[in-house]
Structure 1
Amino acid sequence: MAFEPPQRLVKALGEATYEEPAAARAWLADLPELLEQAVRRRESTVERLLVPGGRSSLVALVRQADGTPALLKLAAPGTRPEAEAAALACWDGWGACRLLDGPAEGDGALLMERLHSEVSLRSLPEAKALLEAAGTVRRLWVEPPAERSFETVAERSARLAAAVRPVDDAMRPLVDAALAAREELVASEAELLLLHGEFRQGKVLAGERTPWLAVGPHPVVGERAYDLAGLVLDRLDDLVAASAGASTARRRVTKLADSLEVDRERVRGWTLFRAVASGTEALRAGRRSQAEVLLEFASWL
């Protein structure tokens, strides 16, 4: 099964911030064989690859042996597909796509319910999209399964914080504020719920059995405000380009926090930290325009 991996995937795995470059290069070279093995193991056949696809996985539309359409996701090295599989199994189709088969023999493959990948919440007007997103993410906030240990918000944010560095003196106050917010939030965290971890509008796709379902979790256990921060950071290009961007940003924090009965200041604090952490990561990876948008947004908070 010969093919060229999608360029979006190749580019993402080649960025300076990717933690396992040698493993990624080997994985990309072996992808055709890995995909063939994965579909054979699950008695499926490939229809086509999804392009541009994901930044950390190869995604293929497949047919199962009985003809049922499904989606097969091959995760790149270091992306923890077992954790994603465990979260999807816990939700069992409630608010998220249904897992049909998890990684087998260490192949890093997930077989999942097929959704309409071309239709996400980003296709809706922003007000409607935020309403639907809030209803979807609420369903995912459940008690974590006792038999599975997930990374915590404290652990993940500590890893992110360790990589946050100001590139100049002008940026230092913003970085210091974000790190201080993270310290305060972790010290006072009271909730331990299963979270999506990377929730945003583009991660919610149209389905058949229910209108909208979440995909692509990077699961973590902690407080709801951490998940909401990712949603606040959605569609930033439009927000930054608007003349009233700063006030709109603060209203978005308030609206989302109030609609889901989450403390506004905790949502604001996690949004500040995650914007700065993502912005500095984008700088290290050479994505300067994305970094500038994230850091400007963070300065409004």
Structure 2
Amino acid sequence: MASVSATATGLSLGSVSIAVSRPGRAARPRRCPCLASLARSLRPSARPWRRNSRHAHRAMTDSTRPLPLALVEAAEQEGRTAWLATLPGTVARLARAWSLSVEAPFQPGGQTAWVAPVRDRAGAELVLKIGWAHPEAIDEADGLGVWSGHGAVRVHAAEQTHDTSALLLERCRPGTPLAARPEPEQDEVLAGLLGGLWVQPPAGHTFRPLQVMVDQWAEEFRQQLAAEPGLLDSGLAREGIALFQRLPSSADRQVLLATDAHAGNVLAAQREPWLLIDPKPYVGDPAYDALQHLLNCAERLHADPTALADRMAGLLEGVDRVRLRRWLFARCVLEAPGDPALADVALRIPID
């Protein structure tokens, strides 16, 4: 949660996602020679997968398109280079299984997934997303299935193994990110999308409660401060983390959340004007879902965090403005070890 990073969404050429990373995550290291060599060795080939009478599909061979740099660097940081080496085989296997013609991956790419445009046997444009398994994205396919294309991209196929998540997704055209639009417009679009996404999860669902994620982040925060006690005022830290962990249980309604809804994860489309991508579904307090967008609106956040929170609460149906202020205060405290200016932001947010 501490640092801000830019990553390609993968559902449209040039789409950019701005995301605040989780607490305790180290700064991205300089790219090392071994990873540069691995990226070259795993470059896709010049021929796309094409169906013919003798061979179902072939790997593409465009030597000018190496693996996405963001993915290669993140693999080193996360200790996933062995997983990265299995990627060409996984792409080839899924291309055969799902009858896909696969093009070059999007550049610069995301940090946890290889994403490329594909066509199915009927010629429909889709997106293949193959990522390493990580807890926050476990339920992406199930969440998209519940939303069934209403406000979010459709999922056409999915596969989950112990270390890999693969999704075959609707492709957005033109795919321009909402982040390219002025922030006041972003506020309105996101509020409209979230209002439609906040549905009751189906009976017997297996989505995790928001409390699970909150408790995990709180523990990481405490470990970070224990290792570096001078990072943040201890009183502010105690107040912020206590509120952060109390808020989920005090919500008056529980809905399916995206938890990573921000302007970089919303793309212009034809079926609907805007569609959400890359959700990380949990069930919990709808007020939480506004936070990632608020944190990404850095200039307005630092200038007047209360006005920003109140504006967003006014656009979101059923979201209490004081409750959203409390969430924003707590989340700013959680981010502050990596971005000390957010401690000052937190102190300027009235929460009573």
The reply to whether TM is greater than 0.5 is yes
Look up the equivalent residue of 1:108 and give its one-letter code.
Answer: S
- In the alignment, which residue of structure 2 is the partner of 1:197? 259
Evaluate the alpha carbon distance shift between residue 294 and residue 39 of structure 1 in structure 2; reply closer, same or farther with a 3 A threshold.
farther
Q: Is residue 150 from structure 1 mapped to residue 211 from structure 2 by the alignment?
A: no
Look up the equivalent residue of 1:300 and give its one-letter code.
Answer: R
Q: Is residue 239 from structure 1 mapped to residue 295 from structure 2 by the alignment?
A: no
SS where residue 70 of structure 1 aligns? strand
Structure 1 CA distance, aligned partners of 2:131 and 2:158? Answer: 11
Preserved CA contact (<8 Å) 2:155 2:170: yes
Structure 2 CA distance, aligned partners of 1:110 and 1:295? Answer: 38
- In the alignment, which residue of structure 1 is the partner of 2:88? 32
Offset at residue 140 of structure 1 (A): 0.6
Instruction: Pick from 233, 239, 245 the counterpart of residue 183 of structure 1.
Output: 245
Q: Considering only aligned residues, what root-mean-square deviation do their CA atoms show, in Å? A: 2.2
Structure 1 CA distance, aligned partners of 2:333 and 2:181? Answer: 27
Structure 2 CA distance, aligned partners of 1:207 and 1:9? Answer: 25
Structure 1 CA distance, aligned partners of 2:277 and 2:342? Answer: 23
Evaluate the alpha carbon distance shift between residue 189 and residue 80 of structure 1 in structure 2; reply closer, same or farther with a 3 A threshold.
closer
Q: Is residue 61 from structure 1 mapped to residue 61 from structure 2 by the alignment?
A: no
SS where residue 99 of structure 2 aligns? coil
- In the alignment, which residue of structure 1 is the partner of 2:290? 228
Offset at residue 279 of structure 1 (A): 4.5
Look up the equivalent residue of 1:39 and give its one-letter code.
Answer: A
Q: Is residue 87 from structure 1 mapped to residue 170 from structure 2 by the alignment?
A: no
Offset at residue 198 of structure 1 (A): 0.8
Higher relative contact order, structure no. (Cα contacts within 8 Å, ≥ 6 residues apart): 2
Q: Is residue 45 from structure 1 mapped to residue 106 from structure 2 by the alignment?
A: no
Evaluate the alpha carbon distance shift between residue 52 and residue 278 of structure 1 in structure 2; reply closer, same or farther with a 3 A threshold.
farther
TM-score of the superposed pair, with normalisation by structure 2: 0.73
Look up the equivalent residue of 1:115 and give its one-letter code.
Answer: C
Structure 2 CA distance, aligned partners of 1:147 and 1:71? Answer: 29
Evaluate the alpha carbon distance shift between residue 276 and residue 33 of structure 1 in structure 2; reply closer, same or farther with a 3 A threshold.
farther
Preserved CA contact (<8 Å) 1:81 1:110: no
SS where residue 73 of structure 1 aligns? strand
Instruction: Pick from 279, 298, 301 the counterpart of residue 346 of structure 2.
Output: 298
Structure 2 CA distance, aligned partners of 1:39 and 1:86? Answer: 22
- In the alignment, which residue of structure 1 is the partner of 2:158? 102
Offset at residue 163 of structure 1 (A): 0.7
| Larger CA deviation: 213-222 vs 101-110 | 101-110
Offset at residue 292 of structure 1 (A): 4.1
Structure 1 CA distance, aligned partners of 2:109 and 2:332? Answer: 24
Evaluate the alpha carbon distance shift between residue 44 and residue 79 of structure 1 in structure 2; reply closer, same or farther with a 3 A threshold.
farther
Preserved CA contact (<8 Å) 2:259 2:279: yes
- In the alignment, which residue of structure 2 is the partner of 1:287? none
- Structure number with the higher helix fraction is 1
Preserved CA contact (<8 Å) 2:248 2:284: no
Q: Is residue 255 from structure 1 mapped to residue 299 from structure 2 by the alignment?
A: no
SS where residue 273 of structure 1 aligns? helix
Instruction: Pick from 262, 267, 274 the counterpart of residue 212 of structure 1.
Output: 274
Structure 2 CA distance, aligned partners of 1:219 and 1:74? Answer: 18
- In the alignment, which residue of structure 2 is the partner of 1:162? 219
SS where residue 179 of structure 2 aligns? helix
Evaluate the alpha carbon distance shift between residue 101 and residue 246 of structure 1 in structure 2; reply closer, same or farther with a 3 A threshold.
same
SS where residue 173 of structure 1 aligns? helix
Evaluate the alpha carbon distance shift between residue 11 and residue 300 of structure 1 in structure 2; reply closer, same or farther with a 3 A threshold.
farther
Structure 2 CA distance, aligned partners of 1:230 and 1:111? Answer: 25
For residues 199-252 of structure 1, the C-alpha deviation after alignment (integer angstroms, 9 at most, x for no partner) is 11111101111110000001010011110122211231x336xxxx332x2111
Look up the equivalent residue of 2:311 and give its one-letter code.
Answer: K
- In the alignment, which residue of structure 1 is the partner of 2:6? none
Evaluate the alpha carbon distance shift between residue 45 and residue 105 of structure 1 in structure 2; reply closer, same or farther with a 3 A threshold.
farther
| Larger CA deviation: 151-160 vs 252-261 | 252-261
Look up the equivalent residue of 1:155 and give its one-letter code.
Answer: V
TM-score of the superposed pair, with normalisation by structure 1: 0.85
Structure 2 CA distance, aligned partners of 1:43 and 1:294? Answer: 48
Offset at residue 145 of structure 1 (A): 1.8
- In the alignment, which residue of structure 2 is the partner of 1:71? 127
Structure 2 CA distance, aligned partners of 1:293 and 1:85? Answer: 36
Offset at residue 75 of structure 1 (A): 1.5
